[in-house]
Amino acid sequence: MNDKQRKNLWLGVMAMVMIGIYPPWKEFGAVEKPTGFAPINQPPAMSAGATRLDIDFSRLGIELLLAAAVTAGLVATAGGRPDPPSFMPASNTGNTGNTNNQPNSSKAVKTSRVELPRDYYLGELFVESEDDSEYWEDYCQAKGSLELPKGKKIQLELAKDIRVDLSFLSAFPSDAIYSVDASDAKISDDDLSKLGGLASIRELDLSGTAVGSNGVVNLKSLAKLEKLWLDRTAIDEQCVPALISLSKLKKLSITGTNLNELALESLKKDLPNCELIVS
């Protein structure tokens, strides 16, 4: 369980404890009348005609059940980005990284230096969890001078709330980035041409972006790409030849797109070893 999951779990537990300390009440008499929340040791005053006041266990049970369900959902969705919608979306994704831009791990590892503009925020960097290979752990912010660990899988999660300049990706060694989470980022077709220098990319999430078929053509240079998410993008049948050229694909998610049945059949036929997710 990562730090964000633990935080969400504690918040949920605290919410359930507070519900127990300040439960809902109900008046009994000629008419049963639900009342508001009040401390368990200080019930609210009864109104005229009421004969008894007690905790409304029906409402209390429902509220605790809802709090538990919300907590479980928050814990599950904060688990990093294994396979997004993850990987994920991984984002999943609201991690802020370390404010001092230093990696979390204190272990001595071989690193390679990357120089990005000091005041330009590209996004967040994550490393594959040592405890669970399906999860990503916070490493540092993608800005300024970075020390990337060698021999570890690294994910770059692009900033969501600003338009990022992907030309800065040229500062990374070609084999440095394993995964790029660009889901819901403010990128366009032309931006994808700047991914070509990262030849080592195995996973790419473009879900919820303005990318269309012209942009997918720019992915043909990513010969090692194994997993690609294009959910909720503007792609259509024009991108099928470019997708088929990605012969290493093992997973392709295309839910909520404009691909017609003929295009889907072509993808199934020409990418026989690829898991195709359409709904």
Least confident span in 8-17, 151-160, 228-237: 8-17
Give per-residue pLDDT as tens, 18-49.
888 888 888 887 777 888 888 888 888 888 77
Q: Answer yes or no: do 59 and 116 share one domain.
A: no
Asked whether residue 102 is domain-assigned, the answer is: no
Integer Cα distance of 163 and 140 in angstroms: 20
The predicted pLDDT at position 78 comes to 67
Q: Answer yes or no: do 117 and 56 share one domain.
A: no
Q: Is 167 exposed, middle or buried (0-12, 13-18, 19+ CB in 10 A)?
A: exposed
Integer Cα distance of 1 and 132 in angstroms: 9
Least confident span in 43-47, 70-74, 104-108, 240-244: 104-108
Higher-pLDDT residue of 84 and 149 is: 149
Q: How large a percentage of the chain has pLDDT more than 90?
A: 46
Q: Answer yes or no: do 144 and 269 share one domain.
A: yes
The predicted pLDDT at position 79 comes to 58
The predicted pLDDT at position 160 comes to 92
The predicted pLDDT at position 40 comes to 85
Residue 98 has pLDDT above 90, yes or no: no
Q: What is the mean pLDDT of the chain?
A: 84
Residue 105 has pLDDT above 50, yes or no: no
Q: What is the mean pLDDT of residues 135-157?
A: 91
The predicted pLDDT at position 97 comes to 43
Q: Answer yes or no: do 220 and 177 share one domain.
A: yes
Domain of residue 8 covers 3-77
Q: How confident is the model at residue 151 (pLDDT cuts 50, 70, 90)?
A: confident
Residue 58 has pLDDT above 70, yes or no: yes
**Number of C-beta neighbours around residue 215 at 10 A:** 25
Q: Answer yes or no: do 66 and 115 share one domain.
A: no
Q: Answer yes or no: do 69 and 200 share one domain.
A: no
Integer Cα distance of 39 and 22 in angstroms: 4
Least confident span in 34-38, 94-98, 158-162, 210-214: 94-98
Give per-residue pLDDT as tens, 218-242.
999 899 999 999 999 999 999 999 9
Asked whether residue 94 is domain-assigned, the answer is: no
The count of structural domains within the chain is 2
pTM of this structure? 0.62
Q: Answer yes or no: do 118 and 222 share one domain.
A: yes
Asked whether residue 168 is domain-assigned, the answer is: yes
Give per-residue pLDDT as tens, 183-218.
999 999 999 999 988 888 999 999 999 999 999 999
The encoded tokens of residue 188 equal: 């366009």
Coil, helix or strand at residue 180: strand
The predicted pLDDT at position 74 comes to 81
Asked whether residue 99 is domain-assigned, the answer is: no
Q: How confident is the model at residue 90 (pLDDT cuts 50, 70, 90)?
A: very low
Q: Is 47 exposed, middle or buried (0-12, 13-18, 19+ CB in 10 A)?
A: exposed
The predicted pLDDT at position 72 comes to 85
114: left (phi over 0), alpha (psi -120 to 50) or beta: beta
| Helix spans in 22-99 (H) | 57-77
Check if the beta carbon of residue 196 is closer than 8 Å to that of residue 218: yes
Q: Answer yes or no: do 137 and 69 share one domain.
A: no
